[in-house]
C-alpha cells in the first residue's frame, strides 16, 4: 500500500471517529456545549437603537445587588432626585454635586449614558428661593445661573436634560408656579414663553446637550397632551431648541385597554412627525397586591408598552422609575400600592422583566 493511500485511509478514519464522538454514536460519550449567555435588557434594546434606563440614587450604589443589576441590565441611568434644584443647589451660592457626580462616575465605569433630570420644576425648589421675596428679574437671573452652572458642570457627561418638568395642568392650562407667574421670571401671562426662554438658556449653557420637555398624564390623546403638542409644534416651527418629549407613564392596570394603548400609539406618532425624539422616562405600573394574576397582568402591560416603543422609530428611551421594588417611591406616594417594577425586592426578575425583554 502506498504512503499516499495509507494517509488517506488514516484521514478518513479520524474523520469518522470525530463524527461518531460529535453525534454520540458508538459510545455513551456526549459533547456538552455551554448554554447561551442570558441576554440582558441593554443588549436587546441596543439592537433597536434604544437606551433602556432606570432612575437611580447614589445612596444605593453600596448595595451590591443594586449596583450589579443596574450596571449589567441597563444602558442608561438618570438621577431620581440628586440633580433636582433643591438638592443640587441648596444655598444661594452653594452647589452640591456629590450625588450626581457619584451616579455619573458609576455610569462611566459601566459604559452607560446619563440623562439629566431636571432643571426647571415647581417642586423641590429650595426655601432660599421660595422665601427670598425675589422680583421677577431677580428670579430670572437665579434660574439662568442655575441652568448654566449645572449644565456646564456636567457638559460632556450628561447627554440630555429634562429642561422643564410638569409645566401643564391636566386640562392643558399652564401650572401656576414660582417660575411662571408667582411671580415668574418675567413672562407671567404670556403662555409658554417662559418655557421657551429656559430652553434658550439651556442651549447656550451646553450647545451639545439634547433638550427635552417632560410630563405625566399626557401619554394618550387628551387636553394635556394637546397643549404640549401645540407648544412643541410652535417651538419646532420657530427654531426653539427642543429635541424631544418625555412621557412619564406612572400608571396602573387600568391603562391596559385597547383604546388607551391605541391613543398612546397615535400620540407618539404625532410627536414623532414633528421630528422629535420620544422618551418613556418614568414608567412604573403599580399594583394593589402581588398575586400571580396581578403580576401576569402587569407583565402584559409592560410588554405592550415596550412593543409600542420598539415599533416607533422615534422612541429612543425606555426607562423605568427605579428598577427594584426594594427602593420604589410608589408605597409612599400611593398607600396600599406597590410591586411596580421589573425586579422584586430581592433583585429577582419578575414576569414584567421577561415581557420587556421579549418585546425588546
Active site positions, annotated = 166, 282
Contact indicator for 130, 177 with CB cutoff of 8 Å = no
| Backbone angle region of 349, left / alpha / beta, with phi > 0 → left and psi within -120 to 50 → alpha | beta
Query: DSSP readout, 136-157?
Result: HHHHHHHHHHHHHHHHHHTTTT
CA nearest to 195, candidates 175, 209, 225, 216: 175
Residue 153: CB atoms within 10 Å? 18
What are the C-alpha distances in Å from 329 to residues 53, 251, 343? 17, 13, 14
What is the rounded end-to-end Cα distance, in angstroms, of the chain? 62
CB-based contacts of 91: which residues, under 8 Å, 6+ apart? 126, 128
3-state secondary structure at position 52? strand
Set of cell numbers at residue 219: 401619554
Task: State the Cα–Cα distance between residues 315 and 360, nearest whole angstrom.
Answer: 12
Contact indicator for 119, 112 with CB cutoff of 8 Å = no
Amino acid at each position: 500500500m502506498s504512503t499516499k493511500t495509507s494517509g488517506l485511509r488514516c484521514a478518513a478514519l479520524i474523520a469518522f471517529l470525530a463524527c461518531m464522538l460529535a453525534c454520540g454514536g458508538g459510545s455513551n460519550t456526549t459533547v456538552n456545549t455551554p448554554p447561551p449567555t442570558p441576554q440582558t435588557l441593554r443588549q436587546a434594546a441596543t439592537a433597536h437603537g434604544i437606551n433602556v434606563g432606570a432612575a437611580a440614587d447614589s445612596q444605593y450604589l453600596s448595595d451590591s445587588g443594586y449596583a450589579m443589576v443596574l450596571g449589567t441590565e441597563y444602558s442608561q441611568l438618570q438621577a431620581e432626585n440628586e440633580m433636582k434644584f433643591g438638592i443640587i443647589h441648596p444655598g444661594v451660592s452653594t452647589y452640591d454635586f456629590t450625588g450626581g457626580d457619584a451616579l455619573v462616575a458609576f455610569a462611566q465605569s459601566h459604559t452607560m449614558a446619563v440623562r439629566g433630570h431636571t432643571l426647571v420644576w415647581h417642586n423641590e425648589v429650595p426655601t432660599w428661593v421660595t422665601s427670598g421675596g425675589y422680583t421677577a428679574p431677580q428670579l430670572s437671573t437665579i434660574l439662568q445661573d442655575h441652568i448654566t452652572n449645572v449644565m456646564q458642570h456636567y457638559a460632556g457627561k450628561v447627554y440630555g436634560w429634562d429642561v422643564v418638568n410638569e409645566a401643564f395642568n391636566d386640562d392643558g392650562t399652564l401650572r401656576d408656579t414660582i417660575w411662571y407667574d408667582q411671580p415668574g421670571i418675567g413672562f407671567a401671562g404670556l403662555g409658554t414663553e417662559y418655557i421657551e426662554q429656559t430652553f434658550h438658556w439651556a442651549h447656550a449653557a451646553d450647545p451639545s446637550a439634547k433638550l427635552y420637555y417632560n410630563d405625566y398624564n399626557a401619554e394618550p390623546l387628551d387636553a394635556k397632551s394637546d397643549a404640549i403638542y401645540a407648544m412643541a409644534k410652535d417651538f419646532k416651527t420657530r427654531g426653539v431648541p427642543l429635541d424631544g418629549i418625555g412621557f412619564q407613564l406612572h400608571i396602573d392596570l387600568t391603562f391596559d385597554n385597547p383604546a388607551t394603548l391605541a391613543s398612546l400609539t397615535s400620540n407618539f406618532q404625532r410627536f414623532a412627525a414633528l421630528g422629535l425624539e420620544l422618551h418613556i422616562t418614568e414608567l412604573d405600573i403599580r399594583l394593589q397586591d402581588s398575586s400571580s394574576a396581578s403580576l401576569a397582568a402587569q407583565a402584559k402591560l409592560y410588554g405592550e408598552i415596550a412593543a409600542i416603543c420598539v415599533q416607533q422609530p422615534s422612541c429612543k428611551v425606555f426607562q423605568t422609575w427605579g428598577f427594584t421594588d426594594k427602593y420604589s417611591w410608589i408605597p409612599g406616594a400611593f398607600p396600599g400600592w406597590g410591586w411596580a417594577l421589573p425586579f422584586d425586592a430581592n433583585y429577582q426578575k419578575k414576569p414584567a422583566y421577561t415581557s420587556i425583554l421579549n418585546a425588546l
